[in-house]
């Protein structure tokens, strides 16, 4: 393969990565532009030696897409959003619990029974044939004991973690993400003096700078300067506007249709969701405080569970058209089922 061919393949991979992330991560273009250059440097073979490929702290209100960013990056790199080594920092609120990440030293009680959560084998398992870049997520990092930040100093600086048995883990081929709600309440208070989506939209550059200032103040209050200085980027997420939430809803409804097609095969049916039903789902599943966090759960409760009951009862024939509409009364979406024509059945068979 010539050098021109290799450059062409790298450019194609970069374009593919950008297209996937931009399509699936709604409303956070500044976060995309802050992360992708580090991935491109790794793909070009120009990442700094002796450091992780990228270290990012993601700030912002709940439901604004911080964890979704990590999942989308993993999907773009590896083909699956499950290819993430995830550490739930809420499980390490006590100082002694942080030791679980590196395992007990030889001679200590539980040495043989305790397997470190940050081992080289687990890092390697988070890669794929498509990419050797592992994605590591420390979720809600501010909840962990302060010893976690001290433990990570060596990882962020030298890309090396020493385990309890004195073996080392190499983090050079990793993207390290840390999500945090530090300053999230103050951020919302600063840009939502009233209630509703109208007050959240159209903040502009001044609003973004205000959020970043609030976030940085909270980060410096919580973490030591030597920890903050080892971060490649601190990215502040803005609350999602109603238009962006509508686009997220569209993506999730499309994913539901793909799920139906995958799981039911020849017995699949088409799902249409009316405009009135979409407005209802947005009211039930989104809020200024929690953004889109509850939307997936709302769709599961309002669409997937009732549809499953209809299918199990034999009321949805193969190739049928199911239309979800706003509730006539009560708190649940209504459904109308149109049976397929004979032509549709012949084509399906």
Q: How far apart are CA 269 and CA 344, in angstroms?
A: 11
Per-residue pLDDT tens for 162-203? 998 889 999 999 999 999 999 998 988 887 655 444 444 445
| Cα separations in angstroms, 160 against 129, 147, 228 | 23, 17, 18
79-95 burial: b if 16+ Cβ within 10 Å, else e: eebebbbbbebeebeee
3-state secondary structure of 233: strand
Residue where a domain terminates, one of 218, 239, 260: 239
Q: Are residues 217 and 126 in the same domain?
A: yes
Higher pLDDT, 103 or 39: 39
Residues 111 and 143 placed together within one structural domain of the fold: yes
Beta pairing, strands 168-170 & 160-162: antiparallel
Among residues 176, 206, 239, the one where a domain terminates is 239
The residue among 108, 104, 214, 114 whose CA lies nearest residue 166 is 104
Which of 276 and 348 is assigned the larger pLDDT? 276
| Domain stops at, among 239, 259, 282 | 239
Are residues 70 and 88 in contact, defined by beta-carbon separation less than 8 angstroms? no
> Which CATH number does the domain housing residue 65 bear?
3.40.50.300
DSSP string, 130-167: S---EEEEEETGGGS-HHHHHHHHHHHHHSEEE-TTS-
Q: Are residues 89 and 48 in the same domain?
A: yes
Assess whether 215 and 73 both reside in one domain: yes
CATH number at residue 247: 1.10.8.60
Owning domain of residue 276: 243-348
In sequence order, which residues have a C-beta less than 8 Å from that of residue 125 and are 6 or more positions away? 85
How far is residue 131 CA from its own chain's centroid? 18
* Confidence band, pLDDT 50/70/90 cuts, at residue 254: very high
Mean pLDDT (the chain) is 86
Is there a single domain that holds both residue 59 and residue 206?
Answer: yes
pTM for the full model? 0.84
What pLDDT digit, counting tens, does each position of 207-237 carry?
Answer: 888 999 999 999 999 999 999 999 999 999 9
Does residue 305 share a domain with residue 190? no
Q: Tell me, yes or no, whether 278 and 300 share the same domain.
A: yes
Considering the domain architecture, whether residues 321 and 193 belong to the same structural domain is answered as: no
Predicted confidence at residue 331, as pLDDT, reads 80
State the pLDDT at residue 136. Answer: 97
What pLDDT, on the 0 to 100 scale, is given for residue 105? 62
pLDDT, tens digit, for every residue of 27-82? 888 888 899 999 999 999 999 899 999 999 999 988 889 999 999 999 999 999 99
DSSP 8-state secondary structure symbol assigned to residue 65: S
Check whether residue 126 and residue 18 sit in a common domain.
yes
Same-domain check for residues 254 and 234: no
3-state SS track over 15-52: HHHHHHHHHHCCCCHHHHHHHHHHHHHHHCCCCCCCCC
Residue 221 sits in the same domain as residue 280: no
With tokens 């956070």, the residue in question is: 28
The number of distinct structural domains making up the chain is 2
Q: Are residues 224 and 253 in the same domain?
A: no
């Amino acid at each position: 393969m010539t050098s021109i061919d290799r450059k062409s393949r790298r450019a194609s991979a970069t374009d593919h990565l950008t297209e996937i992330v931009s399509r699936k991560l709604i409303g956070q273009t500044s976060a995309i532009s802050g992360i992708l250059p580090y991935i491109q440097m790794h793909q070009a073979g120009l990442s700094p030696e002796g450091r992780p490929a990228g270290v990012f702290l993601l700030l912002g209100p709940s439901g604004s897409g911080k964890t979704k960013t990590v999942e989308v990056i993993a999907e773009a790199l590896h083909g699956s959003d499950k290819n993430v080594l995830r550490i739930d920092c809420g499980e390490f609120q006590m100082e002694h619990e942080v030791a679980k990440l590196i395992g007990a030293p030889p001679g200590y009680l539980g040495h043989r029974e305790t397997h470190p959560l940050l081992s080289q084998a687990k890092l390697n398992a988070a890669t794929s044939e498509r990419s050797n870049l592992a994605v590591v997520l420390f979720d809600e990092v501010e909840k962990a004991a302060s010893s976690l930040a001290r433990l990570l100093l060596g990882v962020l600086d030298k890309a090396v973690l020493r385990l309890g048995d004195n073996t080392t883990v190499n983090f050079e081929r990793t993207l390290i993400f840390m999500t945090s709600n530090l300053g999230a309440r103050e951020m919302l208070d600063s840009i939502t003096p009233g209630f509703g989506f109208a007050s959240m939209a159209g903040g502009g550059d001044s609003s973004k700078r205000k959020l970043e200032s609030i976030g940085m103040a909270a980060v410096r209050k919580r973490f030591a300067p030597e920890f903050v200085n080892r971060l490649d980027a601190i990215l502040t997420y803005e609350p999602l506007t109603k238009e962006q939430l509508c686009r997220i809803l569209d993506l999730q409804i499309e994913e539901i249709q793909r799920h139906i097609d995958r799981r039911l095969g020849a017995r699949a049916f088409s799902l249409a969701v009316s405009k009135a039903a979409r407005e209802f789902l947005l009211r039930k599943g989104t809020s200024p405080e929690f953004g889109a966090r509850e939307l997936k759960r709302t769709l599961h409760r309002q669409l997937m569970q009732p549809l499953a009951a209809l299918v199990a009862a034999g009321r949805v024939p193969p190739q049928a058209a199911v239309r979800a509409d706003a509730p006539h009364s009560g708190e649940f979406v209504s459904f109308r089922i149109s049976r397929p024509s004979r032509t549709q059945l012949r084509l399906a068979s």
